[in-house]
Structure 1
Amino acid sequence: MGNDHVTSLQVARRAGVSQSAVSRVFTPGASVSGKTREKVLAAAEELGYRPNVLARAMITGKSRIIGLVVAYLENQFYPEAVERLSVALQQKGYHVLVFMASPTKGDVQDVMREILDYQVDGIILASVSMSSVLARRCHEHGIPVLLFNRAQDDDRMSSVTTDNYQGGRAIAAHIASLGHTRIGYIAGLEEASTQRDRERGFREGLEEAGLSLAARELGNFEYARARVAALEMFAGPARPEAVFVCNDHMAFAVMDVIRSKLGLRIPEDVAVAAFDDTPIAAWPAYDLTSYRQPINRMVAQTVDALLQRIEDRDAPARRVVLEGELIIRGSTTPRQEG
């Protein structure tokens, strides 16, 4: 049973060490000998002592909490990112507090109030629509902000992204190499930097191969919307022979429609390629060709850049653009028999 009234002084007496030694044991990253640590933890366990993290935050001005703002978790890329960011930050002695923001622009106020209430040391913004407003507010309050999986034209903010432009180009080159000429594109949310960069790379890559876009629909990064987009694109007689879908989450919807609603075969009737390479892309049901985001490197760079800004407020913002890799699977190339 935890006892609210046990103090660090009582723990120090029981362990036969100084009060500052107890404090160091419970401060992530502080240096303390293994022997002292064992004595202090044993005494704390016996007495039921828990350090009051929030009280310490008020004294030191550091909560060791990082706010992670996400807008929607049905896109399989984000749960994986949240998990890996949490683990990586815990290893550095920080805790992650997830703030759910609705994908609409309206509720920056509410999220901002919560973020300030918790006195977070830094913020990772992984949400689509309200990045710019929220980021500006946080900056005004002196909270370092990092944009994860999106970029924007603001020199004060660090960002970590995959090279979305090169990814789009790589997909265009791959589709062109298969000999397809009627090619479609299903776009994400128009204002997202990821959408803009992927489409620009894809269009320029097609141009280079002497091709152009035959059809374009908007999927807004939503499963239901992507289903509608696929019906629009593939129900008519002049349907594209290949389609690049702006992310995996929408591509699964598109593949479901192509097969079960329209009775077409992938890749024989329509080749499908996407972006992210989430775990589900490798499932046999989808076997989806996708441009892989290097999530481990993205997470490492995110943690590194954010903690540097927390430790040194004057550190320059970093813009990290990482190379991904096109993973070719059965959705674009027919399986070899035998």
Structure 2
Amino acid sequence: MKTPVTSFDVARLAGVSQSAVSRTFTPGASVSKATREKVLEAARKLGYRPNAHARSLITGRSNIIGLVLSDLDNLFYPLALERLAKCLQADGFHVLLFITENNNSDSLIGELLQYNVDGIVLASTTLSSGLAQHCADANIPVVLFNRVLSKDDTGAVSSVRSDNISGGQEVARFMAAAGNRRIAYITGYEESSTSMERERGFREGLAEYGMRVYARAIGNYDFETARRATLELFSSSDDHPDAIFVASDHMAFAVMDTLRHELKLRVPEDVSVVGFDNVPQANWPSYLLTTVEQPLDLMIEATIRLVHRSLADEDTGPRCETVVLPVHLVIRESARKPAK
């Protein structure tokens, strides 16, 4: 059996110390360009591959970040997943992806902890305060991405989200100023903090104009459910909504398709539609969706910054910080515009 090549073998061939070899293969470690080149060339000649497991035993760190999602159908999250994973990998982390079939990650946390993860990022999902505290007791930082703990839960959990409330307010003002008077809302998950905050802001914005939500239906952030919600809103022979605010772009596309192709209504002449997220497809000519843009890159930067801060403060335990980032309305062609 061939004897495995070790870091000492690489060090001898490169003419450097074993610690220089270790630093070369440790992301972020300090090593000169000349030394790095000599080590990499020696490693290539010997066929050396660093043993991540052995390094984790020495450092006490796995360099693994657990990433949990529950909503890959929603077009916002595959984009967020790709950028999160790329940024984490660029910082020397390995990403362990878990998909939960519901909007709560409690069932997966125990399994995640078995992998000795250094941190956990929960996107489009949340967890109970009990498990949040369990992670804190294990000194494992948890960051909620585009979510917050429910008002009844507490725990050492950080969160990053956009300003959903001000986004909802801005949509309400835009629609009311454009002359819409029968404005409906299609929610995401009823228990989702993002959907609740967007609806709260929307109602507050309408109240500024002495208006209320004309009608409401549940979309569950799902394309087919949003389609049925649209049909429900237009099932009555009475005056139907003249505008719809939809809690996500993914659902807004279903709303527009249903209005046009099943109900034979014009967008925006008969019904205005506004979404939330500003995914790339919102700018496709088929939709040109007016929508609230979430600052995705800033959200990802803040998430990774919180992970790094928590890991740097391992002696004091995980941080509990909240980051709320500003949003803005991107005006396209799916909604009637206010007069100048």
Query: Normalising by structure 2, what TM-score?
Result: 0.93
Q: Secondary structure at the match of 1:267?
A: coil
2:189 corresponds to 1:192: no
SS of the residue corresponding to residue 213 of structure 1 reads coil
Show CA shifts across 1:223-280 (max 9, x none): 1111110000023332100000111111111111111111111000100001111111
Q: Deviations over 1:119-177 (max 9, x none)?
A: 11101111325465653442232210000001125352111000000000000000001
Does residue 108 in structure 1 map to residue 109 in structure 2?
Answer: no
Amino acid at match of 1:265: R
Is 2:140 the counterpart of 1:143? yes
d(CA) in 2 for partners of 1:42 and 1:83?
A: 31
Partner Cα distance (1:198, 1:321) in 2: 13
Q: Which amino acid aligns with 1:54?
A: H
1:122 aligns with 2:119: yes
Q: Displacement of 1:184 after TM fit?
A: 0.4
Alignment of 1:61-140 (within 5 A): 61-103=60-102, 105=104, 108-109=106-107, 111-128=108-125, 130=127, 132=129, 134-140=131-137
Give the 3 Å change call, closer, same or farther, for CA 102–142 of structure 1 in structure 2: same
Taking only aligned residues, the RMSD between alpha carbons, in angstroms, comes to 1.7
The one-character-per-residue Cα deviations of 1:201-230 (angstroms, maximum 9, x if unpaired) are 000100101111110001111111111100
- Per the alignment, residue 206 of structure 1 pairs with 206
Judged with a 3 Å threshold, the aligned counterparts in structure 2 of structure 1 residues 309 and 104 are, in CA distance, closer, same or farther, namely: closer
Partner of 2:252: 251
Distance in 2 of aligned mates of 1:284 and 1:4: 61
Relative distance call for 1:317 and 1:81 in structure 2 (3 A) is same
| Match for residue 329 of structure 2 among 307, 326, 329 | 326
By how many angstroms is 1:99 displaced? 1.1
Aligned 8 A contact 2:68 2:125 in 1? no
Indicate if the aligned counterparts of 2:133 and 2:156 stay in contact, CA closer than 8 A: no
Distance 1:29 1:224 in 2: 46
State the one-letter code of the partner of 1:222: D
Provide the residue aligned with 1:57 in structure 2: 56
The 3-state SS of whatever aligns with 1:21 is helix
Asked whether the 8 Å contact 2:74–2:250 carries over to 1, the reply is yes
Taking the TM superposition and a 5 Å limit, the aligned residue runs for 1:307-322 are 307-313=308-314, 314=316, 316-322=319-325
CA shift in 2, pair 1:186/1:132, >3 Å: farther
Partner in structure 2 of residue 223 of structure 1: 223
Q: Which amino acid aligns with 1:179?
A: G
- Alignment identity in percent? 52
Matched, 1:35 2:28: no
Provide the C-alpha distance between the structure 1 equivalents of 2:137 and 2:240, rounded to a whole number of angstroms: 50
SS state at 2:217 partner: strand
Change (3 A) 1:227 1:321: same
Say which SS state the counterpart of residue 6 (structure 1) adopts: coil
Mapped partners of 2:148, 2:7: distance in 1: 45
The residue type equivalent to 1:180 in the other structure is: N
Q: Residue 146 of structure 1 contacts residue 158 of structure 1 at CA under 8 Å; is this kept in 2?
A: yes
Partner of 2:286: 285
- Residue 298 of structure 1 deviates from its aligned partner by 0.5
Unaligned runs of 5+ in 1: none
Q: Is the 8 A contact 2:67 2:120 kept in 1?
A: yes
One-letter amino acid of the structure 1 residue matched with residue 206 of structure 2: L
